[in-house]
Copies of this chain bind each other. A is one copy, B any other.
Amino acid sequence: MRETFTDYALGPNPDDPRLTERVSGIDHEGRTIETSVVAERPLTIFLNRQEIVTAMTIGDYPDMLAVGFLLNQNMLRADDVVTAIDYDEDLEVVVVRTERETDYEDKLQKKTRTSGCAQGTVFGDLMEKFEDINLPKDAPLKTSWIYTLSAKINATPSLYLEAGAIHGCVLCHEDKPLIYMEDVGRHNAIDKIAGYMFMHGVSAVDKIFYTTGRLTSEMVIKTVQMGVPILISRSGFTAWGVDLARQAGLTLIGRAKGKRFVVLAGQDRLNFDADPDAVPEEAKRSGRKAGQDERLKEGTEV
């Protein structure tokens, strides 16, 4: 993978045969076609001897997904020592082992009571930590970076372009995308990045998050919790996402397409060094969405 995408420390691998499946069907003219669809499989995460959750995932990087999920649920602390991560592909189980005895049973109790099952977060608990976080005020954001990042990320070969129906999250530094994760749920993609950062000791203070998904409360909470001061999306906002970003001092940028974007929180970090009129509009046949539409259309006729 490193060989193919030299800009990325870790990037999508659309050629991995486990991540997509070829299926046959018919198109709008009744012709038999064959097309690619993304994998979606269960992964059961254990913390030491306790079963925590079964997540639906494309199944790459189960170790990072498990660690990142536990971190973002506050079941694992930043100073915890992970002694082993055991993954059994046949059983679809990953076990994260830690030095410290964790208090996951309390957390699990809390989850039963307050979990936004519909949302995928242990909400009450996340908020406790959320209020203690101070994001670095001096993290700058040049508008030219937004344009360069969008252009690079949209042109990266990905499962999205191959099979659609998937979200992407990218950890970036200035105008360079570093780690690009995809998954059927955007919370999985962001959890895998959190796992990578923990396992590789990556600092968050000078990083930027780019996501293809919507800027909901969940995405804002996870970003803030990970200590990343800037969150950019091609998609839109929810009102609570905006509220939380303002409370936490997170720079929140949405609807970033072509030369356009909207900043609804943390606008002080922006440095307008680019001329928007020099940025090409996303052409119908060349943007992220368009590239995918063009590629997926009705599949390959067989």
Contact = CB atoms under 8 A, between A and B. Distances in A.
Contacts of A13: none
Contact of A257 (B111, B260, B261, B293): B293
A287 to B, nearest CB: 10
A17 to B, nearest CB: 12
The 9 A-B pairs with the shortest beta carbon distances in the complex, nearest first, are A165-B236, A164-B236, A40-B238, A55-B118, A25-B264, A21-B239, A40-B240, A37-B237, A56-B119
Given A41-B240, A236-B163, A265 B118 contact: no
Nearest to A261: B28
Contacts of A188: 118
Contacts of A29: 272, 276
Given A40-B240, A40-B241, A28 B260 contact: yes
A263 B239 CA distance: 36
Contacts of A270: 26, 30
10 contacts: A25-B262, A25-B264, A26-B263, A26-B267, A28-B262, A37-B238, A39-B239, A41-B240, A54-B115, A289-B289
A35 interface: yes
Nearest to A255: B296
Interface of A is mostly: mixed
Interface in A114-140: 114-121, 123
A142 to B, nearest CB: 13
Contacts of A236: 37-38, 163-165, 296
A4 to B, nearest CB: 23
Given A235-B165, A289-B289, A299 B37 contact: no
Nearest to A19: B239
Contacts of A33: 262
Contacts of A272: 29-30
The CB with the most chain B CB atoms within 10 A, among A23, A39, A289, is that of A23
Interface stretch (A82-90, A172-180, A202-210, A214-222): A214-222
B55 A119 contact: yes
A158 to B, nearest CB: 13
A238 B184 contact: yes
B23 A117 contact: no
Contacts of A185: 118-119
Given A37-B264, A164-B236, A54 B293 contact: no
